[in-house]
Amino acid sequence: MAYMEEYKRKLITAEKAAQLVKSNSIIDYGMFATKPVDFDAALGKRAGDGLENVAIRGTGSILPIPEVIKSDPEQKSFQYFSWYFTLLDRKACDVGLAAHNPFNYHEATLLAYNPDFSHLWPDVWVSQVTPMDKHGCFNFGLGNSHNRGLALNAKISIVEVNENMPLCLGGTDEYVHISEIDYIIEGSNSPIFATPPSPEPTPEERKIADYIMKEIPDGAMIQLGIGALPNLIGSMIAESDLKDLGIQSEMFCDAFVKMYEAGKVTNAKKAYDINKSTYAFCLGTQETYDFLDGNPRVASCNVNYTNDPSRVAMHDNVIAINNILEIDLLSQVCSETSGLRQISGTGGQLDFVIGAFHSRGGKGILAFSSTYKDKEGKVHSRIRPMLTPGAAVTVPRTMVHYLVTEYGIANLKALSTWGRAEALINLAHPDFRDELIAAAKDMKIWSRTNRIPF
């Protein structure tokens, strides 16, 4: 009750909040499922009313489609940017309505707090939050990440209250206090976006998962990326004999719930945050959101806390598992683009590859099926002589640790260019190995000492 007078003073409608936006402003939306809904709808209605050159930055945009994209297809008022691409961002980019902001995910917190980057700080920050508690705090729910730093350093900070947002306990930076914000929107309490269950894994993914499972010891600290394969790994862990596992991951994924329910997660062997799983955001099913809501066994943290490679490396036996899109015979990894088309983002993949390598007993595992089919049904190898022109290098060849396909697993650390080419060709689909050997010879990375792959 001590904060109710201040609450009433700061209460504002979404329409009035949208009127605070001026031309040439930078607006930051809350990340992933904390993206504002009512404010965005109100701001979208201002397209064409004299607003010009307003940059809106999201992180992993989810439904509903941002109105600032839908309402202004000619981009006379709004330009939309995303720090990490989802399917929605990808489709918007395909038609010229969004652009990507590349970065390593752990840097987001640093950019949000460091005054050396104050030119990047937003003029207006808006995020969905839980209702205010008795202490005057609004919880960021499913999107901690770098929300607090942006809230504190924006010229105008606005929270959009949604009663459906899970209360995600901390951790670090999981809240903003009423004294630290300028305005409060009481939102329409729209449902929080939840993902459908993961599709059934392919036979290739099951083989890949079998190889990875052999690399996970008791007491390992697990990080899983986004996608069907990480969720399959989590399900297999839940059905295994593994014990005393820990979790530190940028994303809390559905598979972790299964691991908890099976008694596999204790976090007893972690170097810090003993007995707690730490994560920076969650994008999953409603079942996962219900699991996180008010759960003291999990801790919401800012993304520098979860992803800083030096902090990750403090744990023993870090097993970091992430997907990639393609790799070349030089062992350069692309996980975020298909040629020039932006598919996702660097996210925390490089953070955890580095952190896992420097962990005692750790393994940074990059997994991928050896082939894919294009729209016409033609099969292509994900292992190529050179990356597709325009492809972004997500993990430099010097940083690559373990690679896994349905044909095996290989540790590339300290291998020569000849050794890398041979290891990669052994991981490729047999139908493509002869042409890859020919390419390796042309590239001067195949010698008479290389053996013919199986």
Q: Which residues are catalytic?
A: 250
- Dihedral sign computed on CA atoms, order 17, 23, 25, 30: positive
Task: Quote the tokens at residue 23.
Answer: 């031309």
Helix ranges (DSSP H) in 326-429: 349-358, 417-427
**What is the Cα Rg of the chain in Å?**
23
Residue 201 has a CB neighbour count (10 Å cut-off) of 18
Distance CA 68, CA 56 (A): 8
Phi, psi dihedral angles at 222 (to 5 degrees): -100, 135
Packing angle of the helix pair 228-238, 254-261 (nearest 10 deg): 0
Distance CA 249, CA 144 (A): 13
C-alpha closest to that of 252 among 220, 275, 284? 284
- Work out the angle at residue 244's Cα, subtended by the Cα atoms of residues 241 and 247, and round it to the nearest 5 degrees: 110
Packing angle of the helix pair 203-213, 228-238 (nearest 10 deg): 50
